[in-house]
Chain A
């Protein structure tokens, strides 16, 4: 997927002007956070669960190699295969190879952010294999040659009209604006694709070390068809998804559903444990797991390790006022919102991704809703430190900061400096009590007035008062 992150500001500008998008974002803001709040209220032990989730993830990350090896040997025991992919390119090659082995023409896909991350669809297409997205949201995006703007509601930026338009163009059927009709239409079209597919590719929400199982959670059921109908099932997932036991998995499932959509549990929780066995009614003949690293092992032991706790619930973006204003596409790559602002620079480099950790007020709402308590603002601050050390911030910002720091470190200079600034702004304001245009702060006064200072600094006034007090 193309990296548009350096254009964050321009894309945000466009997003703010896009009325349809703003409407969709408004719905999102009112929807998920409210449902989450209700679900959390209904569960008094939620806070305790978050601590357990955080601690368990930390434990897993300390022993990641052990659990991954255990997972691998269990998958093999069950008759499946595990493939290790260090980079996105490695992962794509492995998957293409597996497709070629069964002479695949088309593959059906369940929703998977990792395959977005590695750019799998483009790669397969370029090599003669046709991928078909089967998650309704992803399917719509594929028809429109678009990309997800949210990690659990990929087409949240679209409205009904966009969908109706896309279906009409591709399905050649009469137009409809009834969601039920559109849904049925998608079902019928996809049914043939399910039957025809040679390979099914899904992601995995978790990989269970004790059983060698992978699990996907969906609300549509398309994932089940993707992984049971074709002869070959390929699970593409990343290394930090491993959990020790089935019971540990259920802890995360509870946290995930509540944090994401406010559900007690997701509708479909489908486990895959190896290929079809003798006597099984259905299931694939071949079962492969591709474990993608793509920069993650570098995060282990680094100041960004906490980010690997992420279970991709989307709560942070659902609650983020910046995401709520500009939407997921503004972030310019696969992962949006606060979690993306930490992950993206890790994967595409801080040189290209630096806009994102800066696009935060550090309001802390993301951290307060994260089910595994990832300190997202702190991690974004780490990126800013990295930027600062590499002198990547714009010159004006760096010089401004240096000038301010020079004063702030010298109390004797700082006082006359604040007095002067206060005096100057007071003069600019005149009788109104506010400034309509402040030089060098156009960003502020383009949109709002700058309230005027009261005419002297506190430090000056206080000193004066103390002196007078002593005299009287």
Chain B
């Protein structure tokens, strides 16, 4: 039920993984933002946040992509995306320009108005804004939450998704051991060092299944794809979802890596 928008104009940062693997995460984000009264637009000129280049040491490409993103999101009151890692990358942009560069100030400006979605809803819009909608939802399951590294340590995201989740009826949150330990995804790390990455994600799936949770939730698709893929390979009966899918009442679509699902046909 899209409200008549009166609130801020928000540019949606889609993130590559949501775009390619799980558009429902981006749709859920749009829905939540609209419920919170925002006008949401999706700038066409956006591609990726540039993290693969930044973390591979390619400063020039990083700066090129940063400029492109800064231009694409010019003029929006806020920039919001469903990933602490990608939004965290936007926050690194000031580091890739010399202070004398005209994009330096614009990068600082982008940093000040870009938010990960749960932090935007909770910290900027306010805890009560979605209360009415969230109360109507029901998810009668035991869930556990993985704190993705960039969101947690760079952006301070910890209680925001939890507080929002607790407003949904039936959600029982059971914390896992080492919820704050990296799952071993790390962008290119899981490709460069697959064996070490595997050990890290195995520790994670053990901690997850020890909680007895039915659903693993998180705020970053990279980590979720990694853990969901491992849970499946190990035959563990835990489904994985991005937290916004629950908050937007979209828990009826198949979880990550579960059954075949054709979003194209649903639209």
Contacts and interface: CB of A to CB of B under 8 A. Distances in A.
A116 to B, nearest CB: 25
Given A365-B182, A450-B225, A455-B261, A401 B58 contact: yes
Contact of A451 (B186, B187, B190, B225): B225
A448 B184 CA distance: 12
Interface in A417-452: 418, 421-422, 429-434, 441-444, 446-452
B47 A407 contact: yes
Contact of B230 (A326, A362, A405, A447): A447
A381 B257 contact: no
A437 B157 CA distance: 34
A464 B181 contact: no
Interface stretch (B60-68, B129-137, B166-174): B60-68
Contact of A449 (B50, B182, B203, B232): B232
A449 B233 contact: yes
Contacts of A387: 57
Given A360-B186, A364-B154, A365-B149, A12 B263 contact: no
Q: For chain B, what secondary structure do more than half of its interface residues adopt (helix, strand, loop), or is it mixed?
A: helix
A411 to B, nearest CB: 5
B257 A452 contact: yes
Contact residues on A (Cβ < 8 Å of other chain), bracket? 35 or more
A459 B150 CA distance: 25
B257 A449 contact: yes
A362 B200 CA distance: 14
A401 B196 contact: no
Contacts of A462: 23, 26, 42
A189 interface: no
Contacts of B150: 362, 364
Contacts of B24: 454
Given A364-B153, A381-B55, A454 B200 contact: no
A225 interface: no
Contacts, number: 223
B149 A364 contact: yes
A13 interface: yes
B97 to A, nearest CB: 15
Interface string A3-43: 00000010011001000000000000000000000000000
Given A363-B182, A433-B257, A453 B20 contact: yes
A365 B199 CA distance: 17
B62 to A, nearest CB: 9
Interface stretch (B11-19, B103-111, B113-121): B11-19
A452 B57 CA distance: 30
Contacts of A404: 52
A361 B186 contact: yes
Nearest to A429: B260
Given A13-B195, A361-B185, A431-B260, A411 B21 contact: no
A358 interface: yes
Interface string A346-364: 0000000000001111111
Given A12-B196, A381-B55, A454-B261, A408 B22 contact: no
A451 to B, nearest CB: 3
B196 A322 contact: yes
Interface string A389-425: 1000100010001001101111100100010011000
Contacts of A430: 260
A458 B65 contact: no
A458 B26 contact: yes
20 contacts: A16-B195, A359-B189, A359-B192, A363-B149, A363-B181, A364-B149, A368-B153, A405-B61, A409-B47, A433-B257, A434-B229, A448-B230, A449-B232, A452-B257, A452-B260, A453-B22, A458-B19, A461-B27, A461-B264, A462-B26
* Cβ-closest 8 pairs across A and B: A361-B186, A451-B257, A443-B194, A384-B57, A388-B57, A363-B182, A458-B23, A448-B229
Interface of B: 14, 16, 18-24, 26-27, 42, 44-48, 50, 52-59, 61, 64-65, 68, 72, 149-150, 153-154, 180-182, 184-201, 203, 225-226, 228-230, 232-233, 254, 256-265, 267
Given A358-B193, A364-B154, A458-B14, 19 more contacts: A9-B193, A321-B181, A322-B193, A361-B182, A361-B189, A362-B187, A365-B149, A365-B153, A381-B55, A429-B260, A434-B232, A447-B230, A449-B228, A450-B225, A452-B257, A455-B262, A461-B27, A462-B42, A464-B267
